[in-house]
Structure 1
Amino acid sequence: MFSVTYEQLNVWLTAFLWPFVRILALVASSPAFGDKSLPIRVKIGLSAFVTIIVAPTLGALPQVTVFSAQGVWIIINQFLIGVALGFTMQLVFGAVQAAGDIIGMSMGLGFATFFDPHSTGATDVMSRYVYMIAILTFFALDGHLQMLSALIQTFQALPVSANVLGATGWRVLAGWGSTVFNAGLLLALPIVTALLITNLALGILNRAAPQIGVFQVGLPLTVITGLLLIQLMLPNMMPFFSRLFDGGIAEMGRVVAGMH
């Protein structure tokens, strides 16, 4: 008769549960995978599938009961590691959305918002448009596979244990946030500059010939100019997004190294 002891059950459970928590935390907090349009069952299934592949390669794990105080602390550690790694990549797309907000405000489309069920709030149209371009580029460049690969490599650099997470990793993550938002401003800068010149030209035209009615043609002109500039920038956006994604993947490794 087949029998399983409590010790064997605990070994099997810890071998699956601890890496599963780290992987699920990244999937739930990362871009693309963490989108609310993706069903929770799919997220859990994907995390479980990756865990089944990764778990046999992790080697020896702490000999701790799962639901003991130390076991629960290990679960919390794995959750925080996964969330930190997912948030590292989420900041990249946050910068892209910030660039879209800046572009939309410069085009005079700050009022053009709609309810987005994914973010459960009002979203700027241009922000969502640029975000979708970034998401499509992310999948086209296999960024999701690179992100999962970087996560799997963290099990070697930061093994499953009950050690307290180092504060250096969180400082690295905070510094990465400022760097990425600078990149978002840099992405929006060409369009903002061009639209500023357009508005200055309209102001000069209004002073020179008030009878033209600049206020009637100003908004359509800035919107058309902004859309045309975005169209012209698309070939250069892809390499820019690629560098942002590569920087995010590299930053995941630096965050893990700081947490060690």
Structure 2
Amino acid sequence: MTEPFQTQLLGLVLLFCRIGGCLLLAPGLSSPRVPVHVRLFVALGITAAVSPMILPGLVREMGTASPDRQIWLIMQETVIGVLLGLLARCFFMALQFAATAISNFIGLSGIPGIPLEEADTGSPLATLVSTAAVTLIFAMGLHIELLRAVIDSYAVMPLGAPPGADALLSNLLQTLNETWLLALRLSGPFLLYGVIVNFALGMGNRFAQQISMYHATTGAVMLGGFLLFYLVWVDWAMIFAGAYRTWLVEGGF
């Protein structure tokens, strides 16, 4: 194996490490329902597609790196890619958290769902919302924006000169704060609905103590929650998609 070919091969490996690390946690492709070999081929295909734009800079860096330095760069690129995927994943974790909270507010907390996007069983509403959100992300082309963010990350974090741990931690905390506020915005109407309904049931139980108001009105509470979700679904989904798109285009790294 000639030295120029070996250098280019190592550059492709570094590029694959960042892209593959991101796809490891990226929404949609990281689902356990997607076979591992499919995810591997997607990562390899994306690496081959974007290599003409990024590979020359990687080759220059790898040409002067020692073997120990090359191992360190591989580990570093993998960590950066995983961090990028984790930041994108935070938005979907916030969405699932909001859906789980909504399930508690409208009386669906005791009903198990079917795990589609995640490996663990959650509430049926969280399963429905996460699956719809992934479909919306692919329909709006935001998975391409995530790939563009990975490519643009080389301008902020070039090979061999990543930001310090304080910058990475600050970025992670900022994303967590943003996604926490997003979860609060998404679950806010249902939180108000739950407070009003439970207050009304408590008052009704005080005036009619011989009737179990909670068990008698469970179906009506769930129906009211579904009707409210039907009314706000379009705006609800657009708020999530808009926040995710804003982070990809203007935020992130």
Mapped to 1, the partners of 2:211 and 2:187 lie a distance apart of 30
**Equivalent in the alignment of 1:40:** 36
**Equivalent in the alignment of 2:12:** 16
Change (3 A) 1:60 1:121: closer
Could you tell me which of 51, 56, 59 is aligned with 2:52? 56
**Which secondary structure state, in structure 2, belongs to the residue aligned with residue 92 of structure 1?**
helix
Q: Which amino acid counterpart does residue 215 of structure 2 have in structure 1? A: Q
Contact 2:114 2:124 in 1 (8 A): no
Contact 2:117 2:130 in 1 (8 A): no
Note the C-alpha offset of 1:164.
5.4
Residues 31-40 or 109-118, more deviating: 109-118
Q: Which amino acid counterpart does residue 145 of structure 1 have in structure 2? A: I
Q: Is it true that 1:166 corresponds to 2:164 in the alignment?
A: yes
Deviations 1:169-228 (A, max 9, x none): 222112211221121022101012112212211222222334554233221121111111
Residues 123-132 or 27-36, more deviating: 123-132
Mapped to 2, the partners of 1:63 and 1:108 lie a distance apart of 57
TM-score (norm 2): 0.89
Mapped to 2, the partners of 1:136 and 1:172 lie a distance apart of 27
Pairs within 5 Å for 1:1-260: 4-5=1-2, 7-58=3-54, 59-61=56-58, 62-64=61-63, 68-114=67-113, 116=115, 119-161=118-160, 163=161, 165-167=163-165, 168-210=167-209, 213-249=212-248, 250-253=250-253
Backbone CA RMSD of aligned residues = 2.1
Segments of structure 2 that go 5 or more residues without pairing to the other structure are: none
- Work out the number of aligned pairs and report it: 248
Contact 1:31 1:89 in 2 (8 A): yes
Note the C-alpha offset of 1:147.
0.7
**Which secondary structure state, in structure 2, belongs to the residue aligned with residue 112 of structure 1?**
coil
Mapped to 1, the partners of 2:115 and 2:14 lie a distance apart of 34
Mapped to 2, the partners of 1:231 and 1:101 lie a distance apart of 17
Mapped to 1, the partners of 2:237 and 2:75 lie a distance apart of 37
Note the C-alpha offset of 1:242.
2.1
The share of aligned pairs that are identical, in percent, is 23
TM-score (norm 1): 0.87
Segments of structure 1 that go 5 or more residues without pairing to the other structure are: 254-260
Change (3 A) 1:186 1:65: same
**Equivalent in the alignment of 1:258:** none
Note the C-alpha offset of 1:115.
5.9
Note the C-alpha offset of 1:53.
1.8
